[in-house]
Amino acid sequence: MANNRHTIILMQTSQNRATRTFMDYASISQAMDGICALYEKKLKELNPAIRNLSYDIMDLYNFIDGLADMSALVYDSSIHAYLPHDRQWIKQRTFQHLKKLAH
């Protein structure tokens, strides 16, 4: 299955190079879950008193765009290498992922 491809999310939360980090996942869809979870964690930190937080796709896009850097490396077994994807690709994939979860 094409979706079960090892995915590494590279990110830098601020201009400080020390904030560079990565997260790796067994699939693209798990990676998109991870990005959503990261955003939800940030929302909870910013709004500790609110129990049920809700957000829309534009809020998530603003979070992704607000990071100093974010990209994805997705393993492609046909070439035995990781293919890089930019922030725009990540936004499209999170949208498709959330749309699938909503149905």
Tell me what the mean pLDDT of segment 82-99 comes to: 96
The stretches of 1-103 forming alpha helices (DSSP H) are 28-46, 57-66, 87-102
Residue with tokens 């979870």: 37
- Contact of 6 with 72, CB cutoff 8 Å: no
| Assigned token pair, 82 | 């990781």
Domain ranges of the chain: 7-102
For residue range 11-47, list pLDDT tens digits in order.
Answer: 999 999 999 999 999 999 999 999 999 999 999 999 9
* Alpha-carbon distances of 34 from 10, 16, 20, 70, rounded to whole Å: 12, 22, 16, 13
Quick one: pLDDT band at residue 3, thresholds 50, 70, 90?
Answer: low
In eight-state DSSP terms, residue 83 is E
| Domain spanning 7-102: CATH superfamily | Enhancer of rudimentary (3.30.2260.10)
Tens digit of pLDDT for each residue in 75-90? 999 999 999 999 999 9
